[in-house]
Structure 1
Amino acid sequence: MATIEDVLSRQERIEKLFNQLVDSIELNQDMLEEYTKELCDVYSDNSFRHSYAEISKVLEQYSPDQRDALAEHVHTLQKAVLDLNKSQDINNRVLKLCDHVDLECIRIGRIDKVEYIGRMATKELSDADGKLQETEKRAEDLKERIEGYQNQSITILGIFAGLVVAFAGVTQFVSSGLKDLSDISIFKITFFIGFSFLFLYNIIFLLLYCVSKISGRSISVNCKKRNCADCKSCRTNFGRLHKKYPYIFWFNIMGVFFCTILCIIAMRA
């Protein structure tokens, strides 16, 4: 009867043989003879039975390719043992070793497959969660933009309503002023009309400027530099008005000049 030390020694020899087999791509004739004799010597003791649990531990350390190579090499050795050895008992135990290796490879392969499916499912779930969060963020941004557009629309409509009221008020003011100026000189009337429209023009520009700020669209002339502080001609308010809004600048210059001339003429008349 085999001792515990002998059983452990023979089990270790099987594990060592497995390590040699997984490192071999193909078995040449010398290697085949050497491994076959080693396997036969391990199972020469009729009382020895290999441990399925120990074989399972060893196979778990190998990669899938190594396990496939091991299973193929063990079957090759089993055929060689069958051809070399006439002992049916050794043949049966080597065949059982092949069965155990095959079963363990299948079991570990199924576990790897389940783990792979689990990892893929986790990855897909994580990707779906990321896409869901991104979609929710986009929906929230869209909601905020829609609410912003609604607020902007209300504000812009209010500004244009104020513009219409201001225009109507100025028109009424000019009309009533003209009735009172029926006996005054033409220069004073012209001065009054010019000053009124100059005032109305600036009011309209101010309202349009407010609309541009609310909508985020600029009505200024495009500058070569984005930052006005870096532009020498835009460092002062006067220079910035001349650079970015030349139409309002020159209109006011001409309007003030025109009204000043009319005022001087009206005072001397």
Structure 2
Amino acid sequence: MQILNEQEKRDSLRQLLMDLSKSQDVLKDRKDRRDYYLRLEAIYYNTDSDNYRHFYSDIFACLSLIDADDSLGNLDILAQNMESIKEGYIPINRDEAHNNELIDIRKEIIKLYDHTNLDISRINYTKRMAGETQSELARAKVLIEDLKNKLAESDVARAEAVNHLNTESSKLKEEVRDGQKKMQNEYITILGIFAAIVLAFTGGMTFSSSVLENIDKASIYRMITIVLILGLVLSNLIWLLIDFLRDINGKSIRKWWLIAITDVVLLLGLLLTFLSYKNHWLDVSPRASISTEAEQHIEGNKATINTEDEESETSKSEKEITTNKTD
């Protein structure tokens, strides 16, 4: 049996673990199994003292290296082969140099199997935890992205709500402003209508009173002409006031035909009055002239009588004065 120093044993053990992790067929033949048993005995058996105790750090380093590189082997295959060695190893060799002492490393193989499986389980657990951690991280990332999207949607919805609120507020302000303007227009309309009514009523009453007071002092032609001209002026003035009120209320439709008909009728009246004046259509009748002369004669007689009375009174006064002087 070849005697190995400590470093050689460490290197041999790491190489043996790598060889066992490469294939499930490495222990298929009996000769191959015997070769691995001999390699293990060369590592662990020690004639001078206790058998060799492997380094736990060497096992962990070797397994970590295998797990990191699939070309070096597989940890599950290593676990299966280590179980086969543990179950199949039987001490049959003897140390001829030391009184044919039986070489027995079953305890060391069991410890190697135990430490190997422990590290394999730990690495698999770490990988599983790392995978779960990565999965949780991926899930957290998805949730974060979802939250970001929802936050963005919320920002958009909030911006839309603010814009809608601003729009509605602007509309409400416009409606209030339009309502105020409409109310002002209605007030102006009411005042205008009242002013038009007062103007028409006052003007009509004043004109009627003036006409009735002076009806005996003017000719009929002049009176009719003045009435028609004043009617023309008042009707147009009232129509202009009503048209102004209609324009304030935004009603562009104007009833031009009303004022047109009124003006045409009044102008026709003026024309007829002028024709009547030229043709003496409205002159006073002979009967009325006789009555007027009779009235003038009566007035003259009254004036003569009054004159005679005044003369008689004067004569009487003179006589009284003469009598008084004689006395």
**TM-score of Structure 1 vs Structure 2, range by shorter chain:** 0.5 to 0.7
Match of 1:79 among 84, 87, 93: 87
> What is the 5 A alignment of 1:87-106?
87=102, 89-106=104-121
Supply the RMSD in Å over aligned alpha carbons.
4.3
Matches of 1:40 and 1:80, distance apart in 2: 14
- Of residues 61, 65, 68, the one that matches 1:61 is 65
Say whether 1:184 aligns with 2:236: yes
Who is 1:203 aligned against?
none
- 1:23 — aligned with what? 22
CA shift for structure 1 position 60? 1.7
1:221-244 Cα deviation digits (max 9, x unpaired): xxxxxxxxxxxxxxxxxxxxxxxx
The offset of 1:101, in angstroms, is 0.8
Structure 2: gaps spanning 5 or more residues: 95-101, 201-233, 265-327
Q: 1:71 is matched by which residue type in structure 2? A: A
In structure 1, the residue matched to 2:174 is 159
Deviation at 1:90, TM superposition (A): 2.3
Asked if the contact 2:45/2:103 (under 8 Å) is kept, the reply is no
Distance apart, 1:54 and its partner CA? 0.8
Matches within 5 A, 1:92-241: 92-129=107-144, 131-132=146-147, 135=150, 138-139=153-154, 142-174=157-189, 180=196, 183-184=235-236, 195-196=247-248, 199=250
User: How much has 1:33 moved relative to structure 2?
Assistant: 4.6
Cα gap change, 1:193 to 1:168, in 2 (>3 Å):
same
Cα shift at 1:73: 0.9
Question: Given the superposition, is the C-alpha separation of residues 35 and 88 from structure 1 closer, same or farther in structure 2, using an over 3 Å criterion?
Answer: closer
1:38 aligns with 2:65: no
What fraction of aligned residue pairs are identical, expressed as a percent?
Answer: 16
Q: What is the distance in 1 between the residues matched to 2:241 and 2:58?
A: 114
Q: How much has 1:122 moved relative to structure 2?
A: 4.5
Residue aligning to 2:54: 50
The alpha-carbon distance between structure 1 residues 184 and 88, as it changes in their structure 2 partners (threshold 3 A), is: farther
Deviation at 1:57, TM superposition (A): 1.1
Q: Residues 72 and 35 from structure 1, CA distance in 2 versus in 1: closer, same or farther, beyond 3 angstroms?
A: same
Partners of 2:141 and 2:62 in 1: how far apart?
A: 34
- What's 2:13 paired with? 14
TM-score, normalising length from structure 2? 0.48
Query: Offset at 1:148?
Result: 4.3
Distance 1:85 1:118, change over 3 A: farther
After TM superposition, the score normalised by the length of structure 1 is 0.56
Instruction: Extract unaligned runs of 5+ from structure 1.
Output: 201-254
Which protein has the larger Cα radius of gyration, Structure 1 or Structure 2?
2
Match of 1:218? none
- Residues in 2 aligned to 1:69 and 1:12: alpha-carbon distance in whole angstroms: 20
Contact kept, 8 Å, 1:40 with 1:81, in 2: the verdict is no
| Other structure's SS at 1:75 match | helix
Whose relative contact order is higher, 1 or 2, with alpha carbons under 8 Å and at least 6 apart? 1
TM-fit CA distance, 1:42 = 3.3
1: CA distance, partners of 2:130 / 2:33:
35
Say if 1:164 and 1:32 are closer, same or farther in 2 by CA, change over 3 A: same
8 Å contact kept, 2:41–2:103: no
Comparing 104-113 with 51-60, which one deviates more in the overlay?
104-113
Tell me if the contact between 2:92 and 2:103 (Cα under 8 Å) persists in the aligned partners.
Answer: no
Please state how far the C-alpha of 1:40 moved relative to its aligned partner: 3.8
**Contact in 1 for aligned 2:24/2:81 (Cα 8 Å):** no
Q: Summarize the Cα distance change of 1:33–1:193 in structure 2 as closer, same or farther, 3 Å threshold.
A: farther
Tell me if the contact between 2:188 and 2:245 (Cα under 8 Å) persists in the aligned partners.
Answer: no
Amino acid of the structure 1 residue aligned with 2:58: E
Indicate conservation of the 8 Å contact 1:25/1:69, yes or no. Answer: yes
Change (3 A) 1:51 1:177: same
CA gap 1:42/1:194 in 2 versus in 1, 3 angstroms: same
Contact 1:18-1:70 at 8 Å conserved across structures: yes
